[in-house]
Amino acid sequence: MCTYLTEKVTVEGTVYFDHPQHARAEHTLNIDFLNPGQGPSARVAVELTAASARALAAAIESTLASVPPGLV
């Protein structure tokens, strides 16, 4: 059952490829979702290996491609 309950928010962030802080890899694709209005601790950081980043991108594209017309 779909509820279609949605909350929209403004998102600020950065995407970069560099050394990770926590992931066990030499380099990762890093995504930081920021909320500058709440200070530097108000962020969510994601560190993905290149393979994981590509798999996530493919999963996002696949999911969006399967959405029925008119819903996107």
Contact of 47 with 19, CB cutoff 8 Å: no
pLDDT digits (tens, 9 = 90+) for 1-42: 465 656 676 767 789 999 999 989 999 999 988 888 888 888
Helix/strand/coil for 52: helix
Nearest-CA neighbor of 28 among 12, 40, 46, 41?
Answer: 46
pTM of the model: 0.72
Whole-number pLDDT of residue 5: 58
